[in-house]
Amino acid sequence: MMNIFNTRNLISITLALFTSVAVAAPLSYDLKPQKIAEDTWLLEGKLEDFTLHNGGNIVNTAFIVTDEGVIVIDTGPSFRYGREMRQAIEQITDKPVKHVFITHSHPDHYLGNQAFKDATIWALPETGRQIAENGNAFAENMYRLVGDWMRSTESTMPNKVMNLKPLSLGKHTLTFMALTGHTGSDLVILDHATGVMFASDMVFYQRALTTPHTPGLKIWLKEIQQLRATEHKLLVPGHGPMVNDGRAFDQMEAYLTWLDNTLTEAADAGLSMTEVIELPVPDQFKGIALTQREFVRTVAHLYPKYEEAAFN
Amino acid sequence: MKRRLIAMMVSCLVSFPLMAAQSDDPLNSPMWDYMRNIFIGEDAFVFDDKVVVDVPVFAEDPTQAPITVDASAYSGQIQKIIAWADLNPIQHIFTYFPHPDVIPRISLRIKVQQGTAVRAAVQTRDGVWHVGGQYLDAAGGGCTTPSMGNANPYWESHLGEMQTRLFERGETGRYKLKVIHPMDTGLADGIPEFYIQQVVLRNEAGEDLARLELSQPVSENPVISFDVRNAGQKHIIWMRDNGGNEFKQTL
């Protein structure tokens, strides 16, 4: 009989133990800023849902390095992410971070705020209100979903209310659009020096959009048309790869329209929620990450309103 | 003698690990035996895929998780259907007595306190229980969260108001109704239980077509759908809550 405790096996067992410990030890987002335009860097998140593995790095954040300081757009899902983002910025410039813009109240976009307390953290008034109201519950939920990555993270309020006046820093002038489609309070930022539009979660591309706080799909659709009509060279979605043409808008319009029609027709046919969840998602959307899962969530968020409308 | 001893030892060795590893509950719920004892007792039962419990994989909103129980495979042979969630603090969801003239399929939404097996036990006329179920994952807290109504007095002036619609579905019809009611479980701090206990669908002759006994886990402002065979007929819906309030509407 073979002795499993012979020397060779013992060595490999020890090695195996050792390596698994080594892999588990340091949590790191390993952020790699990608230069997408002059002075402009993108930290692109994964096309995934929150997991213990990805630590919530499913979100796009960005920064603009100007002669007079750095502008940050969203601070990521955790204090750790915020710290790592700052380190990533320091690798590129020694200019201080002056302005941080929080595009909306969802936890993956602002829970890194603790790492930017020394800067001005701007947000729309309604975004601030939503963070004040839901921030702790959002943070708690993130601890549940991604675990230790969240260590020491606390929901931290933006410290300045946005007034929508253009802001200039160095040679970059930013203008702002206050929209509502995704959360009721969504900030879109346009950099006139580079033509980059930071669309926040008003635009998802190749990753299914999320609907827990949308005021309505028709409102969202209308605002997508507004964004399409706004001149820009490069579009950075809140989730998914950037594009320099209308593809992301096309996808948003097609999916929002399909969702709205499907839920309307389902309610008019008297379908129950469990039946709606089982409706097939058309092939054209199958290539979009997490479509089926997000469809189920969307039915839970929005179908009651469609049912309500079908009673009348 | 010696051989028999060995046989016993072998059978012990073989059967013990098997018994330990395998519960007869297909959903492997720790509460199955306890729940069975409460709702089915010593009656004969079978696990039966023809009793369909339809839930999403996870409850996006643990205060409004949709469930459908479809026992239409046993249409016309049913005494009653009992639905419960194993790991809810109040497990019973509803007991449904469908008349042979209705299709025994019902949809509503429930509160879940954590991920749990959701069950439907259908007792047929021969007395046997047919048990179906599905696991519903949830972040939880649905039963101990104060109702929305608790923060908004809208319901006080609209209690029991119903919206209803009949949907034609080929040969059959579906009644969907929504009623304004906080459906308080009594498990949220300082808010006493207040919920609809009885829902009855009657035909014009006054015959009960569907009689439903609800428990606290049914979601706030319940949305319930019943499937009926004779959609052309006029129906009456009647409800009563644990405060003695009665609500009635002609469909």
State whether A274 and B163 contact (CB < 8 Å).
Answer: no
State whether A312 and B55 contact (CB < 8 Å).
Answer: no
Phi, psi of A153 (to 5 degrees): -75, 130
> To the nearest whole percent, how much of chain A has pLDDT over 70?
92
pLDDT at B18 over 90: no
Residue A123 lies in a domain: yes
Quote the pTM value: 0.88
**Residues 55-114, chain B: which have Cβ within 8 Å of A?**
55-61, 64, 66-68, 107, 109
Higher pLDDT, residue B85 or B24: B85
Q: Which of A22-36, A192-206, B112-126 has the lowest mean pLDDT?
A: A22-36
- Please name each of the domains of chain B with its CATH number: 23-250 (2.60.40.2470)
In this structure, the strands spanning B92-98 and B78-85 are antiparallel
The amino acid at A259 = L
Residue A238 lies in a domain: yes
Residue A273 lies in a domain: no
Token pair recorded at residue A157:
């309020």
A210 is in which domain, residue-wise?
27-245
Residue A157 lies in a domain: yes
Residue A81 lies in a domain: yes
Q: What is the pLDDT of residues A182-206, one digit of tens each?
A: 999 999 999 999 999 999 999 999 9
In this structure, the strands spanning A167-169 and B172-179 are unpaired
ipTM given for this complex: 0.87
Q: How far apart are CA A43 and CA A198, in angstroms?
A: 12
In this structure, the strands spanning B223-228 and B172-179 are antiparallel
State whether B61 and A296 contact (CB < 8 Å).
Answer: no
Full DSSP string of B69-129: EE-GGGTT-EEEEEEEETTSSS-EEEEEEE-TTEEEEEEEEE--SSSEEEEEEEEETTS-E
A162: Cβ contacts below 8 Å, ≥ 6 apart: A101, A122, A123, A124, A125, A176, A178, A187
* Residue of A141, A272, A297 to mutate, testing the B interface (most B Cβ within 10 Å of its Cβ): A272
Q: What is the pLDDT of residues B184-222, one digit of tens each?
A: 999 999 999 999 999 999 988 889 999 999 999 999 999
Residue A59 lies in a domain: yes
Residue A101 lies in a domain: yes
- Could you tell me what percentage of chain B is helix, strand and coil, using 3-state DSSP and rounding each to the nearest 5? 15, 45, 40
Phi, psi of A279 (to 5 degrees): -65, 145
The amino acid at A31 = L
pLDDT at A4 over 60: no
Token pair recorded at residue A104:
């909306």
Nearest chain A residue (CA) to B170: A269
* Domains contained in chain A, number: 1
Give the CATH number for residue A152. Answer: 3.60.15.10
Q: What is the pLDDT of residues A227-257, one digit of tens each?
A: 999 999 999 999 999 999 999 999 999 999 9
Give the model's pLDDT for residue B165: 93
Residue A208 lies in a domain: yes
State whether A311 and B56 contact (CB < 8 Å).
Answer: no
| Beta carbons within 10 angstroms of residue A105's beta carbon | 28
pLDDT at A119 over 90: yes
Q: What is the pLDDT of residues B54-79, one digit of tens each?
A: 999 999 999 999 999 999 999 999 99
